[in-house]
Amino acid sequence: MKIAMIGSGYVGLVSGACFADFGHQVICVDKEKSKIDKLDNNIMPIYEPGLAGLVQRNVEAGRLSFSTNLGESVNDCDAVFIAVGTPSRRGDGHADLSYVYAAAEEIADAVTKPTVIVTKSTVPVGTGDEVELILSRKLPADQFAVVSNPEFLREGAAIDDFKRPDRIVIGAEVEWAKEVMSEIYRPLFLNQSPILFTGRRTAELIKYAANAFLATKITFINEIADLCENVGADVQEVSRGIGLDNRIGAKFLHAGPGYGGSCFPKDTLALLKTAQDNESPVRIVEAVVQVNDQRKRAMGRKVIQALGGEARDKKIALLGLTFKPNTDDMRDAPAIAIAQTLNDAGAQVVAYDPEGMAVASEIMPDVEMTESSYDAAKDADAVVIVTEWDAFRALDLEQLKATMAGDVLVDLRNIYHPADVAKTGLRYTSIGRNA
């Protein structure tokens, strides 16, 4: 089938490349010419393991191409996916849908045959209705159908998530649109990936509910970690003990400095706004957002406490800046609030991250970027592991200590065993454990 993907950012590019790998003819569209120029030269605008090879393979096979011209790209397509950004709107936290609606306007001017218009972007409940209204002003009812098809991609594992999904959610109101979507996803259906057909508004809410629930699990175990520290328990054993209950599950029960990234912060806020607008408040999610925001700066104070309560004129090295490993995404990363807290306390903050420093240097101008973990640790009073990159899991701790001026290691991801660190003479602080 012929598919146009409007928006060539994280979701659009990964989805478009995977659809092309299924055998579909895909064109990815973006208004940012520099991004399309890079893609034409196989330069990825984001870091995602395996993406460059996937894109190159399908471009060479003639199944994947790129364009800045939306009108020419969509006029003969079976399906047009809207995968533009929906950032949090300033002031109220609601999703900014201006890019979605602008894309719908352009699509309405360009389609020339019955076409399924699919919202792949994460959008609040009722957005599909508005997209349908925009299209109906210019197109007859039998020439389009609006479908919701939310994405569930984890940064760092997006290609595998797309090709081996837990589920595919399709919110459609008309039968012929379901048939088109079934054909698009037929390779996954043959692999027995569950496809859930539902109403459009239900599909829109599924995405927000899923992310809010995962954010709640993260926040829950982080609060349990604080309790563990105060009562002498081990949060990792608590996590294992409750995660073995298949009603709960082990995923997203890893204590740390709080959630960040492109999805959880903005999606929880958007869900709160939708709930408030519909006079149906979600108090649990309200608490999750509040607790998570407070936790990030609390991690900065935890580092200061590990230094004896004083950080002024101390040099502190942060290992890891991105909100999670295997991405260069710095959106709402805990490292931002941690660094700010340390800077406010008078510390000199240096950092190293395998992929995120180019983006981080623009967001964190007061943080000095270095070339390696050991460069960051040179003459540092404390080293803080913020993101659990594999490169940090096997540090030579004796070399690290020899490089440092001080002896404080703060592990905000619990990637080391306290006993192993103790052998090196480092003073070790972790999350939710007696260390």
| 412, 392 Cβ separation under 8 angstroms | no
Q: Reply yes or no on whether 228 is catalytic.
A: no
Please compute Rg for the chain using Cα positions: 23
- Burial class of residue 419, CB neighbours in 10 A (0-12, 13-18, 19+): exposed
**Whole-angstrom Cα distance, residue 224 to residue 227?**
5
Phi, psi of 4 (to 5 degrees): -115, 135
Of 29, 35, 34, nearest to 15 by C-alpha is 29
DSSP strand pairing (368-369 vs 382-385): unpaired
| Sign of the torsion angle spanned by Cα atoms 392, 396, 401, 405 | negative
- CA 64 centroid distance within chain: 24
**Whole-angstrom Cα distance, residue 166 to residue 146?**
23
Point out which residues pair with 411 in neighbouring strands.
Answer: 385
Query: Among the options 28, 77, 228, 263, which is catalytic?
Result: 263
Number of H helices, E strands in the chain: 18, 14
Which residues belong to the active site? 263
